[in-house]
Amino acid sequence: MRVLVVGGGGREHAIVWKLAQSPKVDKIYCAPGNAGIALDAECVPIKAEDIEGICAFAKENQVDLAVIGPEVPLAMGIVDELEKTGITAFGPNKKCSQLEASKAFTKSFLERHQIPTAGYKEFTDKQELLEAAGLFGYPMVLKADGLAAGKGVVIAENEEDAKKAIEEMMGDRVFGSAGDKVVVEEFLTGVEASMLCFVDEHTIVPMESAQDYKRIYDGDQGPNTGGMGTYSPSLVFDNALEEQIREEILIPTLKGFQSDGLDFKGVLFIGLMISKDGPKVIEFNNRFGDPEAQSVLARLDSDLLDIFLAVTENRLADVEITWSDKKAVCVVLASGGYPGSYEKGKEITGLEKVDSDVVVFHAGTASEHICDEQSCRSAVVTSGGRVLGVTAIGDTHEQAREKAFDNVKRISFDGMQYRNDIGIINSNLL
C-alpha cells in the first residue's frame, strides 16, 4: 500500500516509524515531514493546512490511505475533502473535529450525555467575563474556545492573574480568533492522565495508558507547553479505574456520538483528571497526543496499518490489538525560550551516538547545508519549540527512564532544555 501521513512533528514521526514496520506498506509519503521522518518516508513540501495541495498529491500518486496527524487540517475538513477525491483517510471528519476545535462544543456534549467533567460557563463578552472573575473560585481555569496549539489554557491563581489573562485572551487576542469565546471551568484537583482510543462508528478501544508532563520546568512549574515528555503505562491506572472509565466515560461517549450523529472514525484523545470524586474529562482531542504517541506506539505490537484500515472500514471490533509488557519513557528536548519565543536553526549534534534500541523522534527539525571556508556539509538543525523526543524501552519504568536520560546527554544544541523528572513516579499522587 501507498500511505501519506500529513504533518511534520513528533507524533507524525512516531506514526511513520510504526507504519514503516508493516510488511503491507510499500511506500510512505509525509507532508511536509522533517529531518527525522525523511529517514523512513519521502517528505514532500506541502503544508499540512494546504488541503487542496494534499488532495491533488494523494490523487496523482495513487495514495491508498492518508493518515492525518495534526488538529488544524482535521478542523478544516481535510478528511471530507480527501474522501470526495476518492482517497481513504484516517481521522475524524469536520463535524466530529469540533470536539477539539471548540471547547464549548465538547463541554456541551459532555453535559448533554452526563459524562463527568468540571462545571463550566462560556463567555463572548470581555466585560461580562471580567465581572464574573472567580465565579467558580480560585484557581480559575480559562480556556480559549478554539485551537491554540495546546497553549490556550490559563490557570489563574487570583483575581489579578485572572483579569490579566482575560485582557490577553479577549483584549490583546494573544490566541487570535481562538479567544473570541472563552470557557471558564471549575478547577479540578487530582492527577492528570491521558487515554488514547481507537474509535469507529460502532466501537471504542482504549490504547495503553500514558502519563504526560505539561509544564516546562521540573516539579510541574512554569507555563503550560504542548508536552515535555511521557511515560507508558501510567501508574495512575489500575483495573478498577479502567473499568470505571469504561463505564462512565467511554461507553457514554460512544453512545453520545451515535445519538448526535457524529460518525467519529479515528483517534480520540481523552484528557482526564483522576479526582477524589472519580475520573472526569478535561478535554477531547481528535488525534494522537504528542508526545503521548511516542511512548504508546513504541509499545504497540500489532500492525498499525491493520488498525487504521479497520477503523476506516468500521470493523475495529474484529481486530485484536496487542501491546508489549515493557515500559516506555519519552523525554522532550526543547528550544531555549520555549514555550515563549525561541530561535531556530541551531545545529543538533550527537544523534549518531544514540543507542540503536533508543528511538529519537523528530518534532521540530530540518536538514540544512552548513558551509565554512573549507567545505559544506549537511546538518540537522532546530526548526520548532519542541525539537526531539528521546524514547527508550525497558523492563521497568526506571530502566526505561535511565536509558532515555543516558541518551539525552549524548545530544546537544544551543539552548537545549528538558525536564529532569520525566518518568519519576511520585507515589504521593497515586
Tens digits of residue pLDDT in 223-264: 888 899 999 998 888 899 999 999 999 999 999 999 999 999
C-alpha pair distances (Å), 25 with each of 28, 29, 67, 250, 305? 7, 11, 13, 31, 8
pLDDT of residue 150 exceeding 80, the answer is no
Average pLDDT of the segment spanning 292-301: 97
CB atoms within 10 A of CB 134: 14
**How are beta strands 229-232 and 88-90 bridged, if at all?**
unpaired
pLDDT of residue 384 exceeding 50, the answer is yes
Can you name the residues that pair with 392 across neighbouring β-strands? 329
The cell numbers describing 347, all together, are: 545545529
Tens digits of residue pLDDT in 321-341: 999 999 999 999 999 999 999
The cell numbers describing 198, all together, are: 481507537
Residue percentage of the chain with pLDDT more than 90: 81
Instruction: Return the pLDDT at 191.
Output: 85
Instruction: Return the pLDDT at 203.
Output: 98
pLDDT confidence band for 429 (50 / 70 / 90): very low
Buried b (16+ CB within 10 A) or exposed e, 350-378: ebeebeeebbbbbbbbbeeeeeeeeeeee
Average pLDDT over the chain, rounded to an integer: 94
DSSP reduced 3-state for 333: strand
Instruction: Return the pLDDT at 340.
Output: 92
pLDDT of residue 169 exceeding 60, the answer is yes
Average pLDDT of the segment spanning 128-145: 90
